[in-house]
Structure 1
């Protein structure tokens, strides 16, 4: 999977001469936490809610509400933005983008094309909702089966044959490294709520299995921001 497949393309941006007050209002109105700063269609920085909060006087200030508003109208993004923005391109793979974010300790990657032109944005939440959740079968009905010590191609093939024999479809599948037992377990989600016969056959074939408890909820995604989590 590439960044272009799950990035948010409708990106709200500001210029470096935008006031902190306006930037704060945009963050609040659009329920987002970060704004790329663009001058002349070129990325020059990033401003976030924490940066704006750090720029304001503390709660112990003696400034009145009017004085605070006046201060916010005079301070600009240019002074407080992060000028060292971590970026990726639309062609960056999802695993590389995630590694870049983790290595740099950031929760947001700005996606740029030629000459630092902003074309998208991805956040930690995007990696979870667009990649991890589907991998784990979140938001999809069915039964999730935990098959212990099933990390070899031969044992995975045996499980697949039994699933096929019962005419079930595999909704999601992944290997889970067990830190307690130093083995790989297979987690399979099937499109059925009645897996009892399959469970019997798996056990009869020598597998140790459990049915994992899971919670189903419909998944919803943001249309113009990357901060919306699945609705519970």
Structure 2
């Protein structure tokens, strides 16, 4: 899935000359956690998070807080080394960026100009779509040998039942690297006839468990 399919295009931005107070109002009004800082040509020159703004604001627990801190410019607190992504990048790459850099937001730029933004929330929504959990369905996990040509065999069994697949994922089988786990969701509330087909074809079904088996 491409970044441009999931990014938010209505981005709330501020400039380096705007103040911490401006940022507080923007964060609270729009219920967001990050604000890209741009110049007059929409080039991204920095970014501020709700944590940056909170840390730079007067403490609500101090009676004689210096409210003049709210007039400090965002240029004085923003992060200037901003990681950006292209609209034609893959959403999976964004997940790696979030993980490797321990961040929760990246501006999206084309020709260095801001065109959108991707946040943790966008990424989680994408995960929900990719796994098919937003559609009423049944999940089945099948253990298969880690060699070419195994996925079509599983899918063919599903196809014979004429059931609609909502998602297919493949991940390692941790106890033994010679195997993988195929996880798929099908639009049926009674997956047991298909599970029986899989077992009759000598596939090991890891989930759902057979009645009486431990979790």
Contact 2:13 2:37 in 1 (8 A): yes
More relative contact order, 1 or 2 (CA 8 Å, 6+ apart): 1
Alpha-carbon distance in structure 1 between the residues aligned to 2:24 and 2:208? 43
Alpha-carbon distance in structure 1 between the residues aligned to 2:29 and 2:174? 44
Contact 2:44 2:114 in 1 (8 A): yes
2:134 is matched with 139
SS of 2:47 mapped into structure 1 = strand
RMSD: 2.1
Distance 1:175 1:150, change over 3 A: farther
1:95 is matched with 92
The alpha-carbon deviation at position 103 of structure 1 amounts to 3.0
Q: TM-score, normalised by structure 1?
A: 0.81
**For residues 162-173 of structure 1, what are the structure 2 equivalents within 5 Å?**
162-173=157-168
Alpha-carbon distance in structure 2 between the residues aligned to 1:125 and 1:151? 33
Structure 2: where are the runs of 5+ without partners? 210-215
The alpha-carbon deviation at position 142 of structure 1 amounts to 1.1
Q: Is residue 22 of structure 1 aligned with residue 17 of structure 2? A: no
Contact 1:151 1:175 in 2 (8 A): no
**For residues 81-120 of structure 1, what are the structure 2 equivalents within 5 Å?**
81-114=78-111, 116-120=112-116
Alpha-carbon distance in structure 1 between the residues aligned to 2:131 and 2:208? 12
Contact 1:150 1:156 in 2 (8 A): no
Structure 1: where are the runs of 5+ without partners? 214-232
The alpha-carbon deviation at position 47 of structure 1 amounts to 1.2
More moved, 50-59 vs 96-105: 96-105
Alpha-carbon distance in structure 2 between the residues aligned to 1:112 and 1:156? 37
Q: Is residue 77 of structure 1 aligned with residue 74 of structure 2? A: yes
**For residues 185-196 of structure 1, what are the structure 2 equivalents within 5 Å?**
185-196=181-192
The alpha-carbon deviation at position 146 of structure 1 amounts to 0.9
1:149 is matched with 144
SS of 2:10 mapped into structure 1 = coil
1:205 is matched with 201
Contact 1:148 1:186 in 2 (8 A): yes
1:55 is matched with 56
Distance 1:119 1:151, change over 3 A: same
The alpha-carbon deviation at position 144 of structure 1 amounts to 0.8
